[in-house]
Amino acid sequence: MTGIVAYGAYIPRLRLSRLAIYQAMGWFAPALIMVAQGERSMCNFDEDSLTMAVAAARDCLTGMDKKAVDAAYLCSTTLPFADRQNAGVMTTTLNLRDDILTADITSSQRAGTTGLIAALDAVRAGSRRQVLLTATDKRETKAAYFYEMWFGDGAASLLVGDGAENVIAEFLGSYSVTHDFVDHYRGADRHYDYMWEERWVREEGYAKFIPQAVQGLLKKLDLTMQDVSKLVFPCLFKAEHRTIAKGLGAAPAQLIDTMHDVCGETGAAHPLLMLTAALEAAKPGDLIVVAGFGQGCDALAFRVTENITKLPPRQGFKGALADKKTTDNYMKFLKFRELIQPEMGIRAEAPTQTAMTALWRNRRMLTGLVGGKCRVCGTPQFPRQDYCVNPACCAHQSQDDYEFADVPAQILSFTGDLLAVSVDPPAVYGTVQFAGGGRFLADFTDCDAQEVRVGLPVKMAFRRRFTDNERGFAGYFWKAIPQPQPQSASTETAAAKEVQ
């Protein structure tokens, strides 16, 4: 039995009210009012397609054996590097094995479903045991554009494997159609997509290719739409989404929502993000059909198994959707996307060139957040050093690798700095204390300075640390995300004493 073993999802915490875009730019583009409902997900200034992919993959691997993963595919049309394997950065961050196959799959909005078919075929053929398949996109548009309203940022990840004891959704088959249909494109030297008219993609694209693929799949598997529990496919236009489903014979209850009102369309990640939503609500025996659109269409069918009730808890789509902070600060959105260039001051002129030799030598520490743990006394420490930090031990060369990324931690000290260079001032940073031992001086992200306090739990997140615009290089490291929790003054005092 081959199929999906686990799933994960990531939607950035920040959501931009679409009405805020209209309020700022309606004087210039009054037609925006027609689509100024709901909100779209937006990356923080230190997030991109790669960091979102890592977050979704970490969620997917919750409770899983990482050593069993022997291939990782990263699917996106907006990867930060054109000639540096982004999937290789992701696997290093996740501390997967070195002897695995990695690949970037790109250049189409259906890259996610195409990569999923490739992963399933590899496992079914026996050449791979488990494949981590992650799709992500952070698409850019010019300001005051309908697509700025419609798009959203996000990622989804699926672990593909075999075995009746592991598979939560059995793969039944796939059907693909490919057409050089240009509803939009982005040249290799361009930053933004060029869009053709909406009626073209509605009537000649969505309305024809999705039914062609879904009907071809059902015929191939000798199934009807009445056999389908949930139908999953992306579509920018809600009315067209319903019309296509009705034409296929699907009732409204069978259709998974496009999530337009709550996060927008997340590009190559969207069909897989919708699939994670379907899996979260699925029952054993449900039949799910998912389709990905883009220069044709891929359609895949899965039968949910009893194992879905045994999957370890994870954030998933619902958790990612619920963890949000809505903003109406459109100027912040523009700066985070580098659509405006305010003066950053002389301190921002510090050199940012990365020494590739140092990055390579310290890749496990910098990219994987791997420290050391003394095999003599069991004390963890970051970074890993020649001598144990425990004054009662001080053993020499006693450090084994120790991954800190998923270790519970809390704030030991912090400051909010209005003088430091920051895209989102004040810069908040401080010392993090890990459970069991180990301290880490970290930048804080996805937080307001007034929410931060000593003793507050944090979770670690892989984020972009800087961008070297002169050389086209992005540098990444780990940051801490405070997790505000309501608590009494006495509880807060006790937490502060505990970390001291």
- Summarize pLDDT for 335-357 with one digit per residue, the tens: 999 999 999 888 888 888 999 99
Mean of the per-residue pLDDT values of the chain: 95
**DSSP secondary structure of 43-96:** --TT--HHHHHHHHHHHHTTTS-GGG--EEEEE-S--S-SSS-HHHHHHHHTT-
Q: Is the pLDDT of residue 434 over 50?
A: yes
- pLDDT greater than 70 at residue 492: no
What angle in degrees, to the nearest 10, is found between the helix axes of 111-125 and 270-280? 60
What DSSP designation does 385 have?
A: -
Contact (Cβ atoms closer than 8 angstroms) between residue 437 and residue 326? no
Which SS3 state, helix, strand or coil, does residue 336 take?
helix
pLDDT at residue 488 is higher than 60: no
pLDDT of the residue at 485 = 75
Is the domain defined by 364-369+404-499 classed in CATH 1.10.15?
Answer: no
Give the angle subtended at the CA of 252 by the CAs of 314 and 135, to the nearest 5°.
Answer: 40
CA distance 74 to 118: 12
pLDDT more than 70, % of the chain:
97
Give per-residue pLDDT as tens, 128-164: 999 999 999 999 999 999 999 999 999 999 999 999 9
| Mean pLDDT in residue range 229-235 | 98
pLDDT at position 484 over 90: no
| Residue 499 reports pLDDT greater than 60 | no
Average pLDDT over residues 70-99: 97
What pLDDT band is residue 486 in, cutting at 50, 70 and 90? low
- Delimiting residues of CATH 3.40.47.10 domain(s) in the chain: 2-336
Per the listing, tokens 């059902």 go with 218
Collapsing DSSP states into helix, strand and coil, what is residue 420? Answer: coil
Per-residue pLDDT, 80: 97
User: Among 177-186, 342-351, 486-495, which stretch is predicted with the lowest mean pLDDT?
Assistant: 486-495
315-324 pLDDT per residue, tens: 999 999 999 9
The confidence band for 496, taking pLDDT boundaries of 50, 70 and 90, is very low
Q: Which amino acid is at 293?
A: F
The CA distance from 164 to 178, in Å, is 33
DSSP string, 259-293: -TTTT-B-GGGHHHHHHHHHHHT--TT-EEEEEEE
Contact yes or no for 12/125 (Cβ under 8 A): no
| Buried-state track 334-361, b at ≥16 Cβ within 10 A, e below 16 | bbbbeeeeeeeeeeeeeebeeeeeeeee
- CATH level 3 topology of 2-336: Peroxisomal Thiolase; Chain A, domain 1 (3.40.47)
pLDDT band at 429; cut points 50, 70, 90 = very high
Start and end residues for every CATH 2.40.50 domain found in the chain = 364-369+404-499
**pLDDT of the residue at 273:** 98
Kindly report, residue by residue over 366-387, the tens digit of the pLDDT: 999 999 999 999 999 999 999 9
The DSSP symbol for 451 reads G
Give the per-residue pLDDT at 490.
43
pLDDT surpassing 90 at residue 96: yes
Banded pLDDT at 494 (limits 50, 70, 90): very low
